Chains A and B, each alone.
Chain A
Amino acid sequence: MSGLLVTMLLTLGAAGVYLAMPRGRSHVTGLAMILVAGLAVAGIAGLLSNLGVSSGTFSGFTMFGALAVLSAVRVITHERAVYSALYFILTIISTTALLLLMRAEFLAIALIIIYAGAILVTYVFVIMLAQQGGAVPAFDKQAREPLVGVILGFVLLSTLASRFFQPSGAAAAETVKQSGGSVEVGTHLMTQYVVGVELAGVLLLAAMVGAIALARRKAPPLAEREIDAC
């Protein structure tokens, strides 16, 4: 795939994300989403055909990659925080499908259990606690400098993509080893990286203690005076 084509695809994608950003009254989400969807499918399918991968075999990758990108766009552009969290669950499920295509079964199941089962439940719980009522608050309707953010993000992405398409790069090794099952991952984890496992346990314990200590702290009386003054 030529560099000009990649640049055009990235520019159109940036325009779609910019149009989908919440910008007060004037954003056109439906049109922008159609634009981003078409670009995601066309870009990934074109990428696969350009790399000489037969299209029938990897339609799963095209579908789930496009789904992951689309739901990620909705995560960062949706006005309501609850819907952002739900679209993020869709992103997680698509990522899990991509990991299954790479035969990382243990990591895929762990991702679903930890992210969709634990982390996202915490997020939705905090959203329910903090944003009750039907109206969308004003700060959610207006993104902060969406044009600058989108331009900076896609400069970053085009830099990364130009690295990927260098000829000396990744196309060299296409070896596929039929391993990576749970047994091998567990053995690897518990022999070579056993110190890391212990450190991760200590980190989780410290995070748990810290979270309890933070969330149990009473708000100082200054906050009440401030609320009364408002």
Chain B
Amino acid sequence: MLEVSGLVKRFGGFTAVNNVSFRVDQGEILGLIGPNGSGKSTIFNMLSGTLAPTSGSILFAGYEIAGLAPHRIINGGIGRTFQIPRPFRRLSIFENVALAGFYGQGRHSRAKAEEAAERALAMVGLPTDRHASVDGLGAAGLKKLELAKALATSPKLLLADESLGGLDEAEMDQAADMLRNIRDELGITIIWVEHIMGVLMRVVDRVMVLDHGEKISEGLPSAVAGDPRVIEVYLGTDAETTQAAAAEARRRGRPMMLELRGVNAGYGTFQALFDVNLDVKAGEAVGVIGPNGAGKTTLMRVISGLIRPSRGSIKMEGVDVVATPAHKIVSLGIAHVPENRRLFPQLTVDDNLKMGAFMKDARGHYTERLEVVFDLFPRLKERRHQMAGTMSGGEQQMCAIGRAMMSNPKLLLLDEPSAGLAPVVVQQVFELVKRIRASGLTVLIVEQNVQQVLKVVDRAYLIEAGTIRASGTSAEMLASDTVKEAYLGV
């Protein structure tokens, strides 16, 4: 049905997809997995016409579709869902789906579009009532709507992009079953991209694994999960076991620094954290690992006060900070390096660092702290008069960490420091984390890159769907079946 050969996509000098070939047979469900930035979405965008391939061919039902405009590809029978649902809010659920049915099938007839919409809505279990509003839908409902829109275009091949993100466990199972039903009942072939592998592995017929734009493994789910290359990509193999003993020694007798008990948190009606307990002792480096959308960033935001927990307690050195506004939590010694760095792009490096020392107590030590940060990151000193936004990703990450360290914190929160960086730079960033550790700072680090993070932390927690699933020393976590299951679904 679909035959992809030698697919390449370059962005400038960066090769996002490198010579990938695969085929999908009629009626099959193919799972497409890989860490962040491995090229999954780029492949999807080329299949659906959003991006034109640099080279390679995509044969769909015998026709070459590489480089065609998206609307022609959709009319040809390839439907797709998007990771982040963007319905037309002013239209009813039915109108949203009918619109997709009308245009997606080449504007045949209104009656046909409405018929398709009704079928699609019934299939995913949304109300077929013509006036039901989009506003009432939760995260799961929006994902269903996304699916219904794709189905209404009467696809022969469905591209499902991260249909599970932001769903709780029951909803995930439901969504996975739905994809299976779509295949079984409508005979639609599916390619499914997902971070959350556990559920995916149960449903798909075959899996293809990408890493750094290349296909590293393909086959039956059970075989792929046992493939050493796949395990290495997701979990790494070379964490030093000696680290564990040292960590245990360090742990004993240290006072408690951060203590979370029974924390629930979320955004509006969407709950992202469920009953989270977590400890960080003084001088420790603790990691929180887990797939995308597991609640890692929310956890960081709750600790630094950017969002308020709906239940539970958060204590910093014995002081409850649940009711403390974020700008005051900083003065208790918590510095948060946010996801994607969030520098002030049009301020100089100097000014960015200056903002890190904004607090009254920190201003007095501004010059001393600047010395400390420049000592740790000599590169920043060279670039001090440069606009932060014009630096490379790795340098920006240095600047973000440096900015956080300007407030002379006791506890450093690092949210995905490796996100969006090239592999070589990722190595450098983890070297930085090691150096910060060595300076005696307590660190809580959230990462998707398990392989790297377990090398630099003493202990780690596994978080999945907003719940802490496992915890232990780095070595224990590496050996843990729960961790393997979370990432590989075995």
Question: A and B bound?
Answer: no
Residues of B within 8 A of A (CB): none
